[in-house]
Amino acid sequence: MPTENQHPAAKAEKATKPAKVILTGYISMAGKLVLPAKTVAHIGVDLDQASFKVGMDEGKRKAKSLYLVPHSTEEKTFTFEKAVKSYTLALPYILKKSRVDFVLTKYDFMIRLFEYENTTAFELKVTPEAAAVKVPYTSKPRGRKPR
């Protein structure tokens, strides 16, 4: 057959979408915001040089979101410190004041980037980490049989 001797038609290649990365971090038991190196790589801000102002929603008793806005002056700003595999920002007093009990409960946060006064700012949505449900032991009981 003549169709068997022809080259197969080239298939149209689909354009692949870039993978959407969820930017996350957590609050340590010492009251530090911890951003893993994987998250810092996708943020696009040099945390070694940047200083930030920290804020939260006005009129709220408990912080649902924290806002980090880059600021050029050194007055009343916070800077990230480089750790081994992450960057940390110590905020224990602000977290206690905004009723985030980081000592008893582990908190995670998701980072959302937004534009604020021609700079890239961060919104950190703070949520308590869900406790892992312990599965009951269903295997054979060990030891001697009760009488």
pLDDT tens by residue, 27-39: 888 888 888 888 8
Answer whether residue 69 shows pLDDT above 80. yes
pLDDT, greater one: 49 or 14: 49
φ/ψ of 127, rounded to 5, equals -140, 140
The mean pLDDT value for 74-88 works out to 82
Share of residues in the chain with pLDDT > 70 (%): 86
**Structural domain includes residue 59:** yes
Q: Please indicate, yes or no, whether the overall pTM of this predicted structure exceeds 0.75.
A: no
d(CA 132, CA 66): 26
CA distance 125 to 123: 6
- The token pair at 68 is 């980090």
Q: Is 7 inside any structural domain?
A: no
93 in any annotated domain = yes
Q: Is residue 139 part of a domain?
A: no
Instruction: Report the pLDDT value the prediction gives residue 45, as an integer from 0 to 100.
Output: 77
- Is position 143 within any domain? no
Question: Tokens for 5?
Answer: 């001797």
pLDDT average, residue stretch 30-59: 81
Classify 39 as helix, strand or coil.
helix
Report the alpha-carbon distance of residue 146 to residue 31 in Å, rounded: 50
The span from the CA of 83 to the CA of 120, in Å, is 23
Please state the domain count of the chain: 1
User: What pLDDT is stored for residue 131 in this prediction?
Assistant: 66
- From CA 101, how far away is CA 129, in angstroms rounded? 12
Residue type, 4: E
Q: Which is nearest to 45 in space by CA: 126, 125, 115?
A: 115
Is 8 domain-assigned? no
Domain residues for the domain of 78 are 24-128
Tokens at 110, concatenated: 């998701």
pLDDT recorded at residue 16: 56
Looking at 3-7, 11-15, 78-82, 84-88, which range is the least confident one? 11-15
Q: What is the pLDDT of residue 19?
A: 58
Q: 84 lies in a domain?
A: yes
30 within some domain:
yes
